[in-house]
Amino acid sequence: GENVEQHPSTLSVQEGDSAVIKCTYSDSASNYFPWYKQELGKGPQLIIDIRSNVGEKKDQRIAVTLNKTAKHFSLHITETQPEDSAVYFCAAYTGGFKTIFGAGTRLFVKA
């Protein structure tokens, strides 16, 4: 069935460094790729997204890239700050009611 693989499961970086989370999806019909951030005690919140007709999108310190041919997409966080510490989920949406989520990456930013 459809699935989204996400790596790494845990990522620890020093404050100010960059962090990269990578995902691979299986359904070539997927056309929308959101990223969610889940802080401690809260539900996931959409932080950035990208559509299949776009290769890259940036919003301040975060950016997403998409390689449709390879079915890869990635989240890049530059100049990490302690408040970036959270669990990040990638997801792939094909249409209808189904969003397939990755397993999540727990990001630790050390001050």
Partner 1 sequence: DVKVTQSSRYLVKRTGEKVFLECVQDMDHENMFWYRQDPGLGLRLIYFSYDVKMKEKGDIPEGYSVSREKKERFSLILESASTNQTSMYLCASGQLTNEKLFFGSGTQLSVL
Least distance CB 15 / partner 1 (angstroms):
26
CB of 36 or CB of 109, closer to partner 1: 36
- In angstroms, the CA 60 to CA 47 distance is 11
CB of 86 or CB of 102, closer to partner 1: 102
Site of interaction with partner 1 (CB under 8 A)? 4, 6, 9, 32, 34, 36, 41-46, 49, 89, 93, 96-99, 101-104
CB 66 within 8 A of CB 23: no
Q: Which residues, listed in sequence order, are joined to residue 69 by a DSSP beta bridge?
A: none
CB of 60 or CB of 97, closer to partner 1: 97
- In angstroms, the CA 49 to CA 65 distance is 10
